[in-house]
Amino acid sequence: MIVCVAVVGHQNNPLYIQSFTEADDALKLHHIVHCSLDVVDERVNNPKKSGPMLNETFLGMLYPIENYKVYGYLTNTKVKFILVTTDLDVKDADVRNFFRRFHSAYVDAVSNPFHVPGKKITSRTFAERVSTIVKSFGFSSAA
Amino acid sequence: MRTEENHNTVEVAVYAEFRSDWTEALKFYEEAYHTLREIVGVTTRLPPIQRLVEIKSVSEQLHFKISTLLLHSGKVTEAVTWFRQHKNTYRRLVGAPEAILVHWEWMSRQYLVFGELLETSSKATQNFPPVILGSSSKPLSEWEYYPAYYYQLAAHYLSEKRSALELAISMSEIPNEVDIGADSVVPSAYVGQFARLLEEGDNVDMLPLTDEGYTHYAVAEGKRFRDSLEIIALLKKAYESYSGIKVQRMSSFCGFQMAKEYFAEGEIGNAKQIFDNIAILYRTEGWVTLLWDVLGYLRECSRRNGTVKDFVEYSLEMAALPISSDTGVQKDTGPAGPASILQREIVHKEVFELVGEASVLTKNEDSSNLKISADEFVQLEVDLVSPLRLVMFASVAFHEQTIKPGTSTSITISLLSHLPLTVEIDRLEIQFNQSSCNFIIANAQKQHYVEDGDTLKQRTETAPTLSLVSNKWLRLTYNIQSDQSGKLECLSVIAKIGSHLAICCRAESPASLDSLPLWTLEDCTQTVPIKDAVLVFSGLKSTQVEEPDPQVDLCLGASGPALIGEVFLVPVTLVSKGHAVYSGELKINLVDVKGGGLFSPRDSEPYSMESHHVQLLGISGPEGEDESQLDSDNIKKIQQSFGLISVPFIKNGDSWSCKLEIKWHRPKPIMLYVSLGYKPNGYEPNNAQMVHVHKNLQIEGKNAIVINHHYLMPFRRDPLLLTKNKEALESDQPEPLPSNQNTVLVVSAKNCTEVPLRLKSISIEEEDGVERTCSIQHGNEELSDPALLVPGEEFKKVFSVNSNINISKLILGTACLRWRRDLGVEEKSASTATLSSWVVTKQKLPDMNVELPPLIVSLECPPYAILGDPFTYNIRILNQTQLLQEIKYSLADAQSFVLCGYHNDTVYVLPKSEHIVSYKLVPLASGMQQVPRFSMTSVRYSAAYQPSNSSSTVFVFPSKPHFKTAASTIFRVEESVANE
């Protein structure tokens, strides 16, 4: 199950962060997302270590942390997408698929002429689309 | 049975290790480890909890051995993978819920031990192995190679253990009393087994332990340790390790957890320091929810410390954070409370209640450290980088960029606050760099604050209301005027809220407004501090107050161009027209018009020792004022191109003048800048305004006199100069002079100015240190009456040069002229001092080559002839060489003369002797006539000679003239002639 998704801007500032848990661990998830930016930075700055992933937007699993797995995605405009999931056995293809759909939702949201680039995404449509994508995450893998 | 087998395997492994057979040892340890896993579900020898503890203990030992061996042989990747397998295998084996704390403790220990092993091995090997990712289905993350990662998780499991322990203690509070058996539990001889020690006299017996007993024992053991210290130590390790490899967000997270532990332990100082560090990162990256949480802790820290100022600062910052309702962090365990608008309002109210009440206020009865005494005052400074800019920030704009002193302009003060609720400001103090301009804006509804004693002197404006609505600009426009010239800058705006709080905002210009941090990321429209669209982009917090208009005239009265060499006087006149001049200063600057500079050290000046082309020599005071009379404290400083002179006191209506003495050494136009600075009032010695008057004048420096010279040979006497013939065509070198001959040198001086000049003398002076190689004769040294030279006129003086020494070069020296301007009608009345100030202009005469001519031809002909009267025409050819010279000559016929003698012939002139060819001529026509043309060729030198036209002309009188014999007709060669 996906517990948190986030869009992080150029200055590593959160543009959109949404958690999908019943428990009160939203803040913890914020911390996890924030910490995962270190891994993204490391991957981007040291592309040698992650050789085969050169020029790929999908950054793969960023780091394992107790009970969670964090995945990252870097768009061409250097906007980062972070996904936190509690599933311990996740297929890369599912995550890629998720990020692809998430990316297109993001592109649609920022293409809104009333959206100012670099500002937080407050679009309700975007939030709805994201929650749909998040909900369908588990099912699509089953299907 | 399996246990026995396993035991044997371990023994073999230990033996192999003892023999340093690492591979063998590793193999058997791994085998033992795998066997152990098979036992997990099989053995039933011990009760379930203790059985699990035993198995875990054994596996821990084996795992430690395996990890050590792997890391020892540099197989870091294998070790990390092994650890992961180990962790994954046993993580699920939690065991009975009442003994879960044992599991967490065990997990924590696994991470800690492996982290330490990894750290020591990576220290030992130094070089980090290349990370192989994606080698299996579960690729290793690079973080699994950092020891900090393991420390962090060790701390995590330890905190899990602590909470499990707390739970266990709370559940077992009643059986605490019957906890008699726990003391006697000891570890048995086998790894991971515990037994009850039963002492009966000297008999010591080991009894097997029930699971309940073991759980009691574990809880009792757990109580003995302070886990939080351990957790802090682990987190500190992780924090420092992450910081060391510049992983700042991870380290911040560890620091956050560490600070939380400190906070829970009551070590407020440590906690606050770490929280402050972390808050900086969250502020810069705009993680508002995380910042909110940290600030909540910080606020609580300052509440416990009782530092009111910090409490107010953190509270205000929290209240001003851009937190909307949909952050998702609704409930939180931290002291900050849920991140929501409601909570922001609560924080806001709390802090304003604290500072608003004059009475002692305590928020929480139990932590009543926070109080403000009646005379205490909290002043918050908000500068450009302060996080409190969100709380309040001030933009100040003058409506005009420059103002005249005494006139007023408008100033707009705009305040913005992001606090969630409206803030009522009691009064605003606007402070400027000129303190006389400071003023106060008082809130009309809270008038009583204005009546302070010390503020009565200051200007006080009253605004009907001063309420600062959330996210809305409060704009106030007032008039302002300054009498003091210079920069007028608004420094700060101090808002006084209640009797205990003042927020001092550094004034910012709208033109250079930095956007507010955090709020810029919010999706809300950005507002501007001033409605005027022009001022938004150009408004500044400072304005320039101009000087008062000067009421003193400064006149530079120079006329015409200056002449090089003379001391050119520029009269400067100050006329006071309304201002008296106190402590005036006159600054003089000479600047090259073309910008090349007046100083050129590379130019070699042949006739002036100074390297300056234009020089300020001095400043002479007004007529009748001697320099010695000037006060000693008066400044007078003269440099080559800069002068400073103090001006005495000038009464209103009076005038004062002086003269600048400037000398040109080169023709150069210069710009003369004169500026007068003075104080119109004498009674304010220190802070009186200086008033400045500037004048400039361009002055051309021109050459006064052009000196030329040329040489003449004696009339009708021509030497044969061999180099002349050779080189005349090739180069423009000056012609050589014949040696041992008298030569005439004519020096001419031409007035090339537009004013008449007086010329006193022309002379040729010997250069210093260079001996003249010839004798020069001339007439009077000085002219008895200085010659007047009108513009364009030329004056000539003739010198006779005789070089009788046997030399090759003629060094003549320097032509030296003494002249001055003609004073016109004042010439006679001028004092001798003025007349004697002659300007000397010098010009070096070029050196001349000399050579001995082998032949000299002289034509001897009477000065005039009479019609029909025969005369003799002699041509003397002088051979100066030691050789016999063959000369071919011819004489052409002339219409006006009848001649007798050879037309053509060849003669031989003996060495050092003279040959004379003579003719008898009878003139046939009167007037200027050309005598028969003589030409000759020297065979030896193959040089032809023809006399010039002028030397072969003679005047023929029709009849014999009658001359009066008078001395005046006798010309001397040396006599100087004016106006030829």
Q: Which of B142, B329, B521 sits opposite A42 (nearest CB)?
A: B142
Tokens representing residue A133 in the block: 């994508």
Within 8 A of A84 by CB-CB distance, chain B residues are: none
pLDDT winner (highest mean) among B62-76, B470-484, B597-611, B719-733: B470-484
Taking each helix axis from N to C end, the angle separating B211-224 and B147-171, rounded to the nearest 10 degrees, works out to 120
Q: Report the chain A residue with the minimal C-alpha distance to residue B156.
A: A66
Residue B951's pLDDT is: 78
The single-letter code of the amino acid at B247 is V
Question: Which residues, 6 or more positions from B673, have their beta carbon under 8 angstroms from its beta carbon?
Answer: B587, B588, B589, B590, B591, B694, B695, B696
What are B407-427's pLDDT values in tens digits? 888 888 888 888 888 888 888
Residue B725's pLDDT is: 58
Separation in Å, CA B890 to CA B860, B875, B893, B901, B910: 16, 11, 10, 10, 19
**How many Å lie between the alpha carbon of B284 and the closest alpha carbon of chain A?**
8
Q: Report chain A's C-alpha Rg in angstroms.
A: 14
> Do B713 and B689 share a structural domain?
no
Within 8 A of A115 by CB-CB distance, chain B residues are: 523
Q: Which of B153, B251, B278, B327 to mutate to test the interface with A (most CBs of A within 10 A)?
A: B327
How many CB atoms lie under 10 A from the CB of residue B272?
A: 23
pLDDT at B450 over 80: no
- The confidence band for B828, taking pLDDT boundaries of 50, 70 and 90, is low
Burial B373-408 (b: 16+ CB within 10 A, else e): eeeeebebebeeebbbbbbbbbbbbbbeeebbbeee
**How many Å lie between the alpha carbon of A57 and the closest alpha carbon of chain B?**
17
- Quote the CA–CA distance of B612 and B638 in Å, as a whole number: 14
Least confident of A136-140, B219-223, B384-388, B589-593: A136-140
Torsion angle defined by CA atoms of residues B22, B27, B32 and B36, in that order, rounded to the nearest 10 degrees: 120
Least confident of B239-248, B504-513, B699-708, B713-722: B713-722
The answer to whether B40 touches B59, Cβ cutoff 8 Å, is no
> Cβ A49–B142 below 8 Å, yes or no?
yes
Q: Which of B249, B328, B521 sits opposite A34 (nearest CB)?
A: B249
Least confident of A23-37, B266-280, B355-369, B904-918: B355-369
Residue B197's pLDDT is: 65
CA end-to-end distance (rounded Å), chain A: 15
Q: Which of A26, A35, A118 sits opposite B249 (nearest CB)?
A: A35
What are B860-881's pLDDT values in tens digits? 888 888 888 888 888 888 888 8
- Quote the CA–CA distance of B95 and A111 in Å, as a whole number: 54
Separation in Å, CA B846 to CA B160, B174, B621, B765: 107, 127, 43, 13
**How many Å lie between the alpha carbon of A86 and the closest alpha carbon of chain B?**
15
> Do B523 and B391 share a structural domain?
yes
The CATH number of the domain where B838 resides is what? 2.60.40.10
Percent of chain B surpassing pLDDT 90: 0
pLDDT at B182 over 60: no
Between B433 and B777, the more confident residue is: B433
Within 8 A of B329 by CB-CB distance, chain A residues are: 26-27, 30
Q: Which of B295, B329, B526 to mutate to test the interface with A (most CBs of A within 10 A)?
A: B329
Residue A138's pLDDT is: 66
Beta bridge partners of B185: B196
pLDDT at B899 over 70: yes
Between B912 and B123, the more confident residue is: B912
- Quote the CA–CA distance of B468 and B289 in Å, as a whole number: 25
Phi-psi region of B351 (alpha: psi -120 to 50; beta: other; left: phi over 0): alpha
Residue B883's pLDDT is: 86
> Do B453 and B529 share a structural domain?
yes
pLDDT at B102 over 60: yes
> Do B482 and B420 share a structural domain?
yes
Residue B944's pLDDT is: 81
Q: Report the chain B residue with the minimal C-alpha distance to residue A27.
A: B329
Which structural domain, as residue segments, surrounds residue B518? 378-545
**How many Å lie between the alpha carbon of A85 and the closest alpha carbon of chain B?**
16
Tokens representing residue B420 in the block: 């969630």
What's B458's DSSP letter? S
Q: Mean per-residue pLDDT for B212-222?
A: 73
Interface residues on A facing B, Cβ-Cβ cutoff 8 A: 9, 11-15, 17-19, 24, 26-27, 30-31, 34-35, 37-39, 42, 49-50, 52, 60-66, 115-116, 118-122
Q: Which among B858, B861, B789 is positioned nearest to B818, based on CA atoms? A: B789
The answer to whether B294 touches B272, Cβ cutoff 8 Å, is no
pLDDT at B136 over 50: no
> Cβ A27–B250 below 8 Å, yes or no?
no
What are B551-592's pLDDT values in tens digits? 888 888 877 788 888 888 888 888 888 778 888 888 888 887
Within 8 A of B291 by CB-CB distance, chain A residues are: none
Between B124 and B443, the more confident residue is: B443
Domain count, chain A: 1
> Cβ B250–A15 below 8 Å, yes or no?
no
The answer to whether A49 touches A35, Cβ cutoff 8 Å, is no
Residue B978 within any structural domain of the chain: no
What are B150-173's pLDDT values in tens digits? 888 888 888 888 888 887 777 765
What are B600-654's pLDDT values in tens digits? 444 444 444 445 678 888 777 765 444 444 444 455 677 777 888 888 888 888 8
Q: Report the chain A residue with the minimal C-alpha distance to residue B256.
A: A31
pLDDT in tens, chain A (143 residues): 888 899 998 888 888 888 888 776 788 888 888 888 888 887 777 766 555 555 677 887 777 777 788 888 888 888 999 999 887 777 888 888 889 999 999 999 999 888 888 888 888 899 899 999 888 886 654 43
> Do B818 and B728 share a structural domain?
yes
Q: Residue B163: helix, strand or coil by DSSP?
A: helix
Residue B136 within any structural domain of the chain: no
Within 8 A of B523 by CB-CB distance, chain A residues are: 115-116, 119-122
> Do B234 and B204 share a structural domain?
no
Residue A104's pLDDT is: 92
Question: Which residues, 6 or more positions from B135, have their beta carbon under 8 angstroms from its beta carbon?
Answer: B77
pLDDT winner (highest mean) among B30-44, B409-423, B823-837: B409-423
What are B681-698's pLDDT values in tens digits? 766 555 567 788 888 888
Q: What ipTM was assigned to the predicted interfaces of this complex?
A: 0.90
pLDDT at B832 over 70: no
Residue B975's pLDDT is: 42
Residue B17 within any structural domain of the chain: no
Residue B202's pLDDT is: 67
Q: Which of B149, B287, B334 sits opposite A34 (nearest CB)?
A: B287
pLDDT at B846 over 60: yes
The CATH number of the domain where A118 resides is what? 3.30.450.70
Q: Which of B483, B514, B545 is the last residue of a domain?
A: B545
- Quote the CA–CA distance of B904 and B907 in Å, as a whole number: 10
Between B806 and B937, the more confident residue is: B937
Q: Which of A14, A49, A119 sits opposite B287 (nearest CB)?
A: A14
Q: Which of B286, B321, B356 is the last residue of a domain?
A: B356
Q: Which among B881, B871, B885, B877 is positioned nearest to B859, based on CA atoms? A: B877
Q: Which among B950, B957, B914 is positioned nearest to B933, based on CA atoms? A: B950
Taking each helix axis from N to C end, the angle separating B100-125 and B211-224, rounded to the nearest 10 degrees, works out to 50
> Do B731 and B686 share a structural domain?
no
**Strands B871-879, B855-860: pairing kind:** antiparallel
> Do B722 and B692 share a structural domain?
no
Question: Which residues, 6 or more positions from B7, have their beta carbon under 8 angstroms from its beta carbon?
Answer: none
> Do B905 and B921 share a structural domain?
yes
> Cβ B143–A27 below 8 Å, yes or no?
no
Compute the mean pLDDT over every residue in chain B, rounded to the nearest whole number: 77
Q: Which among B344, B262, B339 is positioned nearest to B304, based on CA atoms? A: B262
pLDDT winner (highest mean) among B359-368, B624-633, B903-912: B903-912
Element holding B769 (H helix, E strand):
none
Which structural domain, as residue segments, surrounds residue A32? 2-142
pLDDT at B76 over 50: yes
Between B520 and B830, the more confident residue is: B520
Residue B781 within any structural domain of the chain: yes
**How many Å lie between the alpha carbon of B79 and the closest alpha carbon of chain A?**
17
- Quote the CA–CA distance of B858 and A105 in Å, as a whole number: 117
> Do B234 and B218 share a structural domain?
no
> Do B645 and B559 share a structural domain?
yes
Residue B872 within any structural domain of the chain: yes
Beta strand residue intervals within B143-267, DSSP E:
185-187, 194-200, 203-208
Q: How many CB pairs under 8 A join A and B?
A: 90
Percent of chain B surpassing pLDDT 70: 75
> Cβ B141–A64 below 8 Å, yes or no?
yes
Within 8 A of A3 by CB-CB distance, chain B residues are: none
Residue B934's pLDDT is: 86
- Quote the CA–CA distance of B217 and B202 in Å, as a whole number: 24
> Cβ A119–B287 below 8 Å, yes or no?
no
Measured at the alpha carbon of residue B286, what is the angle toward residues A20 and A111, in degrees to the nearest 5? 70
CA atoms within 13 A on the CB side of B530: 26
- Quote the CA–CA distance of B312 and B372 in Å, as a whole number: 11
Between B607 and B89, the more confident residue is: B89
pLDDT at B977 over 60: no
**How many Å lie between the alpha carbon of A47 and the closest alpha carbon of chain B?**
12
Q: Which among B579, B573, B585 is positioned nearest to B655, based on CA atoms? A: B573
What are B947-973's pLDDT values in tens digits? 777 778 888 988 888 876 655 444 443
Q: Report the chain A residue with the minimal C-alpha distance to residue B155.
A: A66
The answer to whether B834 touches B802, Cβ cutoff 8 Å, is no
Between A35 and B975, the more confident residue is: A35
Q: Report the chain A residue with the minimal C-alpha distance to residue B525.
A: A116
> Cβ B329–A50 below 8 Å, yes or no?
no
> Cβ A13–B131 below 8 Å, yes or no?
no
Residue A7's pLDDT is: 92
Q: Report the chain B residue with the minimal C-alpha distance to residue A71.
A: B141
Within 8 A of B149 by CB-CB distance, chain A residues are: 63
Q: Residue B551: helix, strand or coil by DSSP?
A: coil
- Quote the CA–CA distance of B926 and B865 in Å, as a whole number: 9
Domain count, chain B: 6
CA end-to-end distance (rounded Å), chain B: 147
Residue B669's pLDDT is: 83
Q: Which of A2, A25, A27 to mutate to test the interface with B (most CBs of B within 10 A)?
A: A27
Q: Report the chain B residue with the minimal C-alpha distance to residue A42.
A: B247
**How many Å lie between the alpha carbon of A101 and the closest alpha carbon of chain B?**
23
- The confidence band for B131, taking pLDDT boundaries of 50, 70 and 90, is very low
Residue B26 within any structural domain of the chain: no
- Helix-strand-coil split of chain A, %, nearest 5: 45, 25, 35
What are B199-212's pLDDT values in tens digits? 666 666 666 667 67
Q: Which of B136, B140, B143, B157 to mutate to test the interface with A (most CBs of A within 10 A)?
A: B143
> Do B406 and B318 share a structural domain?
no
Q: Residue B361: helix, strand or coil by DSSP?
A: coil
Least confident of B10-19, B471-480, B492-501, B751-760: B10-19
